[in-house]
Amino acid sequence: MQHRIALIEDDPIIGEALSERLDFEGFTCDWFRDGKSARRGLGQRRYSVIVSDINLPDISGEQLFRELLAGNRTIAPVIFITGYGAIDQAVRLLKLGAQDYVTKPFNVGELIAKIRGLCEHQQQAANSDARLGISTGMRHIEGLLPRLAASRSAVLISGESGVGKEEVARALHRAGDPEGKTPFIAVNCGAIPENLVESELFGHDKGAFTGADRDRRGVFEQADGGTLFLDEIGEMPPSMQVKLLRAIQDRAVVHVGGATPHQVDIRLICATHNDLKAMVEQGRFREDLYYRIHVIHLQVPPLRERQEDILWLAARLLDARASRGEARRTLTPEAERALTRYPWPGNVRELQHCLERASVLCLTPALSAESLFGAGAAADADTLRQPLSEHLQDCERAYIRRALAECDGRIADTAALLGISRKNLWEKMRKLDMAEG
């Protein structure tokens, strides 16, 4: 696999020297000379590592990094280049999630070694991440992926929020492109404002509307040659469903404000936690679009139905945190029992947040049941005093309340944290008899 590096550097001497050295070392290097061009390039390509100067002529490297973090897409590890006087700023960026930094004047060989190490780690992680789980249900899905990858048929992945539908989509993409040469573009349809959906999907021409100061490619064109993953397809506004159907049928898109069709070659994967068939019967989802995206269906089981995966996932999540330089954590036997007996209404996403919270707050290397679930967790794990449906509702209600508290009651931020749309959050709160605040 040839790794692509994004170099963001306005100094022509440093930029030219680094780009030539990276090419010589076998990397593919895209050199951006300012933040604006870097922002555009990072939105169009997938990179293994980003090397950025903190001081740029238009926006700072820190501002660009914060913009990338604020987006919904995963970004590559970032190494910052800084002057000696800006080390405090570099340390602050490390706390925000940057991978590393070097100070000018720096040793190019050491920087190349850092880049190569990050690329090798990603390759190892990609190989280990090929596994979706050890349960029968997830191994069955894994077994189907090579056959699905050999076709270009549309795939619909369904399952509750947080079960890992995007991970299944990424695994399918890897099965068809093991060397990572083609893009994987993921879009949450429920997170896009309705007035921006068409532009986000199909792109726009300069001057198409107020604020359209340049041509912009939509996600269909960004995914050309690779995979387009439309998450929460059930949240697609009715007015856009017919346009989406036409784009899928014709494999071509027309920019907002434009007239020229742009051909695209994509593998389409959609996902939903809704019952699309019921939505069709209710008139909320187009039947012709439903059958167009429902060629092959994969149902991802909830975490509570694949208990074998719970400790396996927990170990992988803790290993991932340790590989990022955090203290390595283990689980006590009581913690393992508590994890396997908890019903996980928030599925894998809730498990990830639970381990993250405990890792941050726990003062000992071994995570206890109490650090994971609070006082009395060990006893609660052995107590069965209510029907499963009621217990699941209680857990979901408590989880939403914790999320609301973390977001100071802001519905939009809470929905984003939970990975669902605002509409779905309102509906869940109504069904659970929760006050709006």
pLDDT of 74 higher than 70: no
For residues 44, 28, 98 and 12, what is the CA-based torsion angle, rounded to 10 degrees?
A: -100
Could you tell me the domains of the chain?
Answer: 4-128 (3.40.50.2300), 136-301 (3.40.50.300), 306-431 (1.10.8.60)
Contact (Cβ atoms closer than 8 angstroms) between residue 240 and residue 198 = yes
Is residue 313 very low, low, confident or very high in pLDDT (cuts 50, 70, 90)?
A: very high
Query: Chain-centre distance of CA 408, in angstroms?
Result: 24
Strands (E), 19-61: 28-32, 49-53
Distance CA 303, CA 308 (A): 9
Here the tokens at position 284 are 């909320």
- DSSP secondary-structure letter at 231? E
Q: What percent of the chain has pLDDT over 90?
A: 44
Per residue in 237-274, pLDDT tens?
A: 998 999 999 999 999 998 988 888 899 999 999 999 99
Listed residue (104, 167, 95) closest to 313, CA to CA = 167
pLDDT confidence of residue 195: 83
CA separation for the pair 75, 43 (Å, rounded):
10
* CB atoms near residue 14 (< 10 Å): 17
Longest distance between any two alpha carbons in the chain, whole Å: 70
pLDDT digits (tens, 9 = 90+) for 367-391: 999 999 886 554 454 444 456 677 6
Token duo for residue 436: 């709006």
Confidence band for 317, pLDDT divided at 50, 70 and 90: very high
Q: Report the candidate in 21, 8, 142 with the shortest Cα–Cα distance to residue 65.
A: 8
Mean pLDDT of all residues in 180-200:
89
For residues 88 and 54, is the Cβ–Cβ distance under 8 A?
Answer: no
Q: For residue 190, what pLDDT band results from cuts at 50, 70 and 90?
A: confident
The pLDDT value recorded for residue 72 is: 44
